[in-house]
């Protein structure tokens, strides 16, 4: 017996939107075929829902009431000051190579490269790679196995407009961070879909930031994906910030769905950090695969939720080769009716002997109405390993509050100090001092409202 599946209004709207914009999207025949196959795959899958284990706590079918139309190409009406304001003073003054994307399109007038471009690093907008048919890019876009088999990636493939193609050449040591800035603007409801590719050549070292920020009051649905290749003996420091408009709550209906897919070469090192605050619905999913022996991974993050915000961090770490190390530490602060989700799965394959993996998620609950769902998992198929995981949720320690108040510190200030100290352990994972200080300033500003 065949059972008909009833599609929601949003699920029906995505294929209709694709038909309306397909001819305007960048890319040649091969890319167009990949897009068509992707939207076909989505039509069969539908939006992820709670009956899918990985989406148990973040039911997009129920949460996305409507599908926004793709962002149209428009003349750039945002200046550098507006971008700096969206970033905030700490990030705006950061000495970095800056690549700006406005509403899903590369904005060269707002970007700043340096004289090392073309020598130690190469940057191209995704549109160039799609239009000129880069063979390697077309091959990657056409892949649909593993982490790319889901509906979210299918939608990204179908609707992607632009993004960064960034390669650090073999042996290069970048002397300043590369800052990829994705800004949404305007007052309309829009969908913004970007896809970036980041590759560190053998023995290269770099710090890369991704910032997703908002200008204006329009609700935005972002689907942002980054594919990362860290070659043998390379060292990458990768930081992502997902924040709503400064000094304002994000528009109702706004959502950010982020996907990172990373592959680590032999003796490489990948340190990643994610900071999330001020967006009603966020799902950050990270997939990391060890492809070479002796590689090291450190993924950490901090999320701050208030009102009815929903923040989901889901990661899968796949140890497929021997002698690798992974560490995960995520910290959250939840106030109001906010909901935090952490799902961390570590897989140790049969041949991955000498694996060393540890995972921890900790949340500070500032309200009786807040909720934290944690699901740490270990799937071990080898016998010579050191693996462990843990998860905690707690309120502010009343004894510590009494200690501070007994020394003349007001209650609000004492609460703020304890929350900053709790979050600070995660921020210390960021090795680059300038980047760490910038994020600490942002976190402190965002925490002020939560501590009250």
Distance CA 317, CA 15 (A): 32
Lowest mean pLDDT among 40-49, 177-186, 250-259, 428-437: 250-259
The answer to whether the CB of 217 falls within 8 A of the CB of 251 is yes
Mean residue pLDDT across the chain: 92
The structure tokens 């050191």 sit at 386
Spatial separation of the C-alpha atoms in residues 294 and 105, rounded to whole Å: 38
* Residue pair 423/363 in contact by the 8 Å Cβ criterion: no
Q: Side by side, which strands form the sheet with 190-200?
A: 121-125, 164-168, 190-200, 220-230, 255-264, 281-290, 310-319, 339-348, 371-380
Give the Cα separation of 254 and 251 in Å (integer): 6
Span 395-409, mean pLDDT?
88
Asked if 155 and 259 touch (Cβ cutoff 8 Å), the reply is: no
User: Could you give the CA distance from residue 452 to residue 447 in angstroms, rounded to a whole number?
Assistant: 9
Strands (DSSP E) found in 1-114: 97-102, 105-106
The pLDDT value given to residue 3: 46
pLDDT digits (tens, 9 = 90+) for 218-266: 889 999 999 999 999 999 999 999 998 655 556 778 999 999 999 999 9
Q: How far is CA 159 from CA 136, 150, 450, in A?
A: 19, 15, 36
> What pLDDT does residue 1 have?
44
pLDDT at 199 > cutoff 90: yes
What is the reported pTM?
0.94
**pLDDT (0 to 100) of residue 2:** 46
Rg of the chain, C-alpha, whole Å:
21
Q: What pLDDT score was predicted for residue 452?
A: 56
pLDDT over 50 at 138, yes or no: yes
How large is the average pLDDT for residues 262-285?
Answer: 97
Mean of pLDDT values over 7-33: 94
Q: What is the percent of the chain with per-residue pLDDT over 70, rounded to a whole number?
A: 96
> Using one digit for the tens of pLDDT, what is the confidence trace for 386-397?
999 999 999 988
pLDDT at 68 > cutoff 50? yes
Helix (H) or strand (E) holding 110: none
Query: Residue 367 corresponds to which tokens in the numbers above?
Result: 């309200």
The first and second tokens of residue 389, run together, are 């995981």
């Amino acid at each position: 017996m065949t059972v008909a599946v009833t599609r929601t209004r949003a699920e029906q709207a995505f294929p209709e939107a694709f038909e309306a914009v397909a001819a305007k999207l960048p890319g040649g025949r091969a890319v167009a075929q990949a897009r068509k196959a992707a939207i076909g795959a989505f039509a069969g899958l539908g939006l992820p829902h709670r009956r899918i284990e990985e989406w148990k706590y973040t039911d997009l079918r129920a949460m996305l009431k409507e599908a926004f139309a793709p962002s149209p190409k428009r003349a750039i009406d945002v200046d550098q000051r507006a971008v700096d304001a969206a970033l905030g003073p700490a990030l705006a003054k950061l000495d970095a190579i800056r690549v700006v994307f406005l509403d899903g399109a590369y904005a060269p007038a707002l970007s700043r490269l340096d004289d090392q471009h073309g020598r130690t690093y190469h940057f191209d907008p995704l549109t160039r790679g799609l239009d000129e048919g880069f063979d390697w890019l077309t091959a990657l876009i056409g892949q649909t196995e593993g982490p790319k088999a889901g509906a979210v990636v299918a939608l990204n493939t179908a609707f992607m407009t632009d993004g960064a193609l960034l390669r650090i050449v073999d042996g290069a040591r970048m002397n300043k961070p590369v800052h990829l800035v994705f800004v949404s603007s305007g007052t309309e409801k829009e969908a913004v879909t970007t896809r970036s590719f980041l590759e560190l050549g053998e023995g290269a070292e770099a710090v890369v930031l991704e910032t997703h920020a908002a200008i204006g009051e329009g609700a935005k649905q972002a689907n942002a994906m980054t594919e990362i290749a860290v070659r043998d003996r390379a060292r990458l420091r990768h930081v992502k910030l997902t924040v709503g408009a400064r000094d304002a709550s994000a528009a109702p209906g706004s959502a950010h769905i982020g996907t990172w897919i990373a592959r680590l070469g032999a003796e490489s090192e990948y340190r990643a950090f994610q900071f999330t605050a001020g967006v009603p619905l966020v799902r950050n999913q990270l997939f990391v695969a060890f492809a070479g022996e002796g590689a090291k991974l450190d993924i950490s993050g901090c999320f701050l939720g208030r009102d009815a915000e929903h923040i989901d961090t889901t990661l899968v770490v796949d140890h497929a080769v021997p002698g690798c190390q992974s560490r995960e530490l995520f910290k959250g602060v939840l106030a109001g009716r906010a909901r935090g989700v952490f799902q961390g799965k570590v897989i140790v394959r049969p041949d991955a002997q000498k694996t060393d993996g540890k995972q921890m998620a900790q949340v500070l609950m500032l309200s009786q109405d807040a909720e934290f769902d944690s699901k740490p998992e270990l799937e071990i198929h080898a016998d010579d390993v050191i693996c462990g995981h843990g998860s905690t949720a707690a309120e502010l320690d009343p004894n510590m509050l009494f200690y501070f108040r007994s020394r003349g510190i007001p209650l609000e200030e004492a609460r703020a100090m304890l929350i900053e100290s709790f979050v600070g352990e995660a921020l210390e994972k960021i090795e680059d001092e300038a980047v760490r200080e910038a994020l600490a300033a942002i976190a402190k500003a965002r925490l002020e409202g939560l501590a009250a």
